[in-house]
């Protein structure tokens, strides 16, 4: 049980975790009822799954070839920053272009935004 075996076990665990999270994302996109809930599934699980797969790739190239690829680390940081921002933007665009919420959702606070603002002003 030397170091390279342990590192390859860690790589295998990271890859399987990424595969599991991408399957979870696919089930979320297929089964959830609403564009907002689907966006919730897609922008969290896909981000973490891709990040763990990229981290496994980085560890593989660093342990097998001794090749420190900084572009992979940059891609991990970039995906971690931008994927939630993209999810927020598309969800906001969906709300403002009039996509309905799910029938069974109980509360919509953004609908009464103008009333709240006038009440706060007066």
Partner 1 sequence: MLEIIIQITLVCVSLSMLGFLYRVIKGPTTPDRVVALDAIGMGLVAIIALISLILDTFAFLDVILLIGILAFIGTVAFSKFLEKGEIIERERDY
Q: How many residues bind partner 1 (CB under 8 A)?
A: 54
Q: How far is the CB of 122 from partner 1 (least distance, A)?
A: 26
- Which residue in 51, 55, 47 sits closest to 10, CA to CA? 55
- Residue 93 interacting with partner 1 (CB under 8 A): yes
75 lies in the binding site for partner 1 (CB under 8 A): yes
Spatial CB neighbours of 33, under 8 Å, sequence gap ≥ 6: 102
State how far the Cα of 80 lies from the Cα of 48, in Å rounded to an integer: 8
Quick note: the x/- pattern for partner 1 over 11-40, rule CB under 8 A, is: xx--xx-xxx-xx-xxx-xx----x--xx-
Looking at 1, 2, 96, 121, which residue binds partner 1 (CB under 8 A)? 96
72 binds partner 1 (CB under 8 A): yes
Distances (CA, A) of 39 to 33, 46, 94, 104: 11, 10, 10, 17
């Amino acid at each position: 049980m030397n170091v390279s075996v342990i590192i390859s076990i860690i790589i295998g665990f990271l890859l399987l975790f990424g595969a599991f999270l991408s399957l979870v994302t696919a089930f979320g996109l297929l089964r959830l009822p609403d564009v907002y809930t689907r966006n919730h599934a897609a922008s969290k699980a896909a981000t973490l799954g891709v990040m763990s797969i990229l981290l496994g790739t980085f560890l593989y190239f660093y342990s097998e070839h001794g090749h420190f690829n900084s572009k992979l680390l940059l891609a991990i940081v970039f995906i971690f920053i931008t994927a939630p921002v993209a999810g927020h933007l598309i969800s906001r665009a969906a709300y403002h272009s009039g996509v309905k919420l799910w029938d069974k959702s109980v509360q919509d606070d953004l609908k009464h935004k103008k009333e709240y603002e006038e009440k706060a002003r007066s």
